[in-house]
Amino acid sequence: MQNYIFDFDLTLIDSGRVNVLSTQSAFAKMGWPKPSADAISYYTGIPIETSFPKMAPQNASQSDLQKLIQVFVKEYEKLEPGNLKLFPGIKAALDQLHADGKQLFIATSNRSDVVIRNTRELGILDDFTEIVGFDMVQNAKPAPDTVLKIVADHHLSKAETIMIGDATFDLEMGKNAGVHTAGVVWGAHDPEKLKLVQPDYLLDDVSQLLAIK
């Protein structure tokens, strides 16, 4: 495999605690019931513009949902410094893949500017050829748009490209785009959920990223 496309949150970085606390704080400030940590974790793989309406009260207006997003962004930025960290072994694996001449990309449901900032702070930005957020495509995960943009931008062979993520949305996106897929079990969705999507690989250790053929 020559081209590795990674999800970001809960695949490369452990952002779960920050995401849960920021989401629950934002909902509380809106006077709404706090979603459970499990619900928040489950929806981490898709944009908050899609997930928040699923967790908000049914009578929430569009203006309220927009305000919720604005509050969340502020809460997240408060908690971000010092609380986001790479999963153990990720930096070494990315550096090795990069040194081996592999092309690395990020396909994320987060905003691209946020992920660029985070990867810079975590010391891995230089490993990546391109970072594509949901704000750069028409349709977010599990639609194939994000992967297809990367493939088109860099004239990649789909047969030599793999999408790696912790959520079923990531794997479905990869399959919809016609590339290989690998699920990682250290993120949001448990192995049984990932197996239902029938990924080409199911990784339970970061070191296995280096063994993908």
Give the mean model confidence (pLDDT) for residues 189-212.
94
Name the percent of the chain in helix, strand, coil, to the closest 5: 50, 15, 35
Question: Is a pLDDT exceeding 90 seen at residue 28?
Answer: yes
Of all helices (H) and strands (E), which one includes residue 164?
strand 161-165
19 vs 45, higher pLDDT: 19
d(CA 114, CA 110): 7
pLDDT for position 81: 85
Nearest to 7, CA basis, from 135, 79, 115: 115
Question: Is a pLDDT exceeding 90 seen at residue 181?
Answer: yes
pLDDT in tens, 63-96: 999 999 999 999 998 998 888 999 999 999 999 9
Question: Is a pLDDT exceeding 80 seen at residue 45?
Answer: no
Superfamily of structural domain 16-79: Putative phosphatase; domain 2 (1.10.150.240)
Output the average pLDDT for the chain: 95
CATH 1.10.150.240 domain span(s) along the chain = 16-79
CATH 3.40.50.1000 domain span(s) along the chain = 3-14+84-211
Where does the pLDDT of residue 4 fall: very low under 50, low under 70, confident under 90, or very high at 90 and above? very high
Phi and psi at residue 158, to the nearest 5°: -60, -30
Domain 3-14+84-211 has CATH 3.40.50.150: no
pLDDT for position 189: 78
pLDDT in tens, 107-151: 999 999 999 999 999 999 999 999 999 999 999 999 999 999 999
Asked if 3 and 129 touch (Cβ cutoff 8 Å), the reply is no
